[in-house]
Homo-oligomer: A and B are copies of this chain.
């Protein structure tokens, strides 16, 4: 069947969910049913929503699944969101936790252009998790300041550096100048060290200008784009991905995604938002809060995001990038939880190192190498000064956020 099946968790009294589910399945499709003449039922049958499943959960909630035939909507994210959660999003405690697309519908979505494999080729690293760092405190700073931060990060051996997502086009460090300066610095570092670092520049501004700006970024030699997709729209991300003249890796930032996904009872699930939809519409990397730091998602939620990004599928895989609160002492835990197919991403954990960002990057690389060698960090710290300093500063491990 050509359809999408939406899964919802909703509140209500036990025994009322069947009627509620039927009401949704009809209300969001053909409107009414039992009072229609036989002939009209025949005509409308293929447009009628269908209750697929009702699971009563614990106290006064149920998970219900409803199928929406593809004849009802155009196959794009805005139409599908309107169909399955347009009016319903306004109607009391109900959370949209998943949307399954039948294979024919799924084919219309591009998935990541590069994906994990393509990003690994660009940095020429295949045997370990990648390492990423973030510019810090760059608001109000000039190009020289950014350049020296970028250089320090790259010298530490990070594979990717991303713009701060709150750095927009501005007079001190305009978009094009950032790209040119970044490209120069990273070529210099490559010539010195032989290691390739990619810089993801923040693509921002009015919606209609984004594609032209992204094409220009490519002409200027940009490595990758950072994009605050949830302040624009998933369809805009998809259009950036589909544009052959852009053809740059896209790093999706979770900025503003919590507005729709943070509530346990309303909105959408993080796994749909930061997982399935980002992969379908074409993000090559998806950043999300790690379960270790202060901006903490529940570990189950985080692993559900990760699963959507890398599970076997027709799409390329999207690189999971657990972020926030990461320091070198967490690397064993990160690799245990996420495996090798992730990007370890740190801000303070790189810049806050006693030897600066270059030291921070090295400490992370040493920690990654130790884990891959089966050595403990404490052992590895004997021979690795930067890791030793990092462990002294931040310790090992962390409390993991697990919801009651």
Provide the residues of chain B in CB contact with A77, threshold 8 Å. 231
A289 vs B88: C-alpha distance when bound (angstroms): 11
Contacting pair A140 B263 (CB below 8 A)? no
Q: Is the CB of B30 within 8 A of A259?
A: no
Q: Are A90 and B140 in contact (CB under 8 A)?
A: no
**Is there contact, CB below 8 Å, between B259 and A79?**
no
Bitwise, A88-118 to B at CB < 8 A (1) or not (0) is 1111100010000000000000000000000
Copies of the protein in its oligomer: 2
Interface size on A, residues (CB 8 A): 70
Determine if A153 is an interface residue (Cβ-Cβ < 8 Å). no
* Given contacts A74-B205, A263-B266, A266-B263, A254 and B82 within 8 Å (CB-CB): no
Q: What CA separation (Å) do A43 and B263 show in the bound complex?
A: 39
Partner of A168, one of B73, B90, B258, B265: B73
Interface residues of A in 245-272 (CB under 8 A from B): 253-260, 262-263, 265-268
**CB-based nearest B residue for A204:** B79
CB-based closest 5 A-B pairs: A89-B258, A31-B137, A86-B255, A47-B140, A78-B231
- Does A72 lie at the interface of the complex (its beta carbon under 8 Å from any beta carbon of B)? yes
In the complex the two chains form, is A89's CB within 8 Å of B139's CB? no
Contacts of A231 in B (CB 8 A): 77-79, 81-82, 86, 233
A208 to B235, CA, bound (A): 9
Q: Identify A89's interface contact among B169, B256, B268, CB under 8 A.
A: B256
Question: Is A52 close to B, CB under 8 A?
Answer: no
Kindly state whether residue A76 has any CB partner on chain B within 8 Å.
Answer: yes
Residues of chain B contacted by A205 (CB below 8 angstroms) = 74, 76, 79
